[in-house]
Amino acid sequence: MNSRERLLTTLNHQVPDKVPLDFGGNQTGIHHLAYRKILDYYDLDEEIVIMDVVQQLASPSETVLKLFEIDTRYIRPGMFLPPPELREVKPGYWGFTDGFGVIWAMPGQRPGEGLYCDIVYHPLARLEYEDLDFYDWPDGTDPAPFKGLREYAKKLREETDYALVSGITGVVFEYCWYMRGFENLYIDMVDNPRYVEKLLDHMLKYWTDFLGVFLDEVGEYLDVICVGDDIGMQSGPLFSPALYRKLIKPYQKSLYEFIHWKTRAKLWYHSCGSVIQYLPDFLDNRVDILNPVQVSAKGMDPRTLKQEWGRDLVFWGGGNDPQGIFSRGTPEQVRQQVRERMAVFKPGGGYVFNTVHNIQAEVPVENIIALWNAAKEFRKY
């Protein structure tokens, strides 16, 4: 099979020749400092391109993707725009303001010294409910992020056999707390739900407009469309599942129905943490793929996930333990863990291999190489 056939077979819960391998997305990528180690290891003379300023992720080159036998290639909105210029937003912090008015920044004496950006300003922290409709909301139909995407996607579709995956989109809930502040929004969810509903109204409109344009441009070429909202933590849901179903789920469902109407691409949902209690809701929302499969979180045992949910959900990730062995173990331990995860997830299809979220700066290069070598070794059916 070629890469596209391999992924499509897997997404249809059938058995391909090999487990598809993914690398290079906003949640399946690599910090630029870790990527530098790969370039040094292979003695590759490349300029590092930052493709995600907030997370400081590198865009893997075609050379590296081929070395690791990666089956996917990404079509990201804004990929042909210049990255935001970092400026000193407060003493010792360098950052930028995004389209929603959220300011992201990292510490350092000069731009780019920090590991990644955090939010340092929530624009709606003090805004009253009555003023929400008058906020300067971004225009989802702005053509700038989509410039050049159709031509690029068409070329990849017609001249390569890779599977095509979107960058992350459809962040309906998370951006509400980015704008309002985490504590404020969680208080609002209980004491002032109409505020949250108004925020979600605006988010749904923005993402519906955004994805309408994006999918008109590239929807016919995509195999997977990525959306996501983090709603889990290590020990369980971030809030009551009942509150999720009442307040947030209807907005997600509306957007995901729209996506399915616009494209035949499979729907990939990202949430970190323990999301086992939400899996019936994800299926009701017509989610096809779960990422990152944080197997170290409560209730996220790989065998249980595969046995109870593997007929309905494709698992995309879960290939290592980033909080333990991958960062602090030996290459042989990394290899053994990949072997074990492959053995659990790959039977019957429905599994795409990747790490549990992005490869962080501190991971030893020997472990990164061991992971991808093991993935290639154990991917065959």
> What CATH number is given to the structural domain containing 369?
3.20.20.210
| pLDDT score recorded for residue 113 | 85
Is there a domain that residue 367 lies in? Answer: yes
Distance CA 159, CA 171 (A): 31
For CA atoms 28, 33, 39, 44, give the dihedral sign: positive
Residue 365 lies in a domain: yes
Does residue 317 contact residue 295 with C-beta atoms inside 8 Å? no
Q: Give residue 238's pLDDT.
A: 95
> Does any domain span residue 327?
yes
Q: Which domain holds residue 189?
A: 3-83+140-378
CA dist list (Å): 147 to 100, 144, 151, 198: 20, 6, 9, 30
Query: Six-digit token pair at 241?
Result: 């599942």
Q: How many domains would you assign to the chain?
A: 1
Task: Look at residue 129 and tell me if it is in a domain.
Answer: no
| pTM for this entry | 0.96
Number of Cβ atoms within 10 Å of the Cβ of 256: 22
With a cut of 70, list the residues of the chain below it in pLDDT.
none
Distance CA 64, CA 282 (A): 34
Q: Which amino acid is at 6?
A: R
Is there a domain that residue 175 lies in?
yes
Distance of CA 245 to the CA centre of its chain: 22
Read off the DSSP letter of residue 26.
S
For 51, the enclosing helix (H) or strand (E) is: strand 50-52
| pLDDT tens string 61-110 | 999 999 999 999 999 999 999 989 899 998 999 999 999 999 999 999 88
Any domain includes 118? no
- Between the two ends of the chain, the Cα-to-Cα distance in Å is 12
Residue 92 lies in a domain: no
Whether residue 96 lies inside any domain: the answer is: no
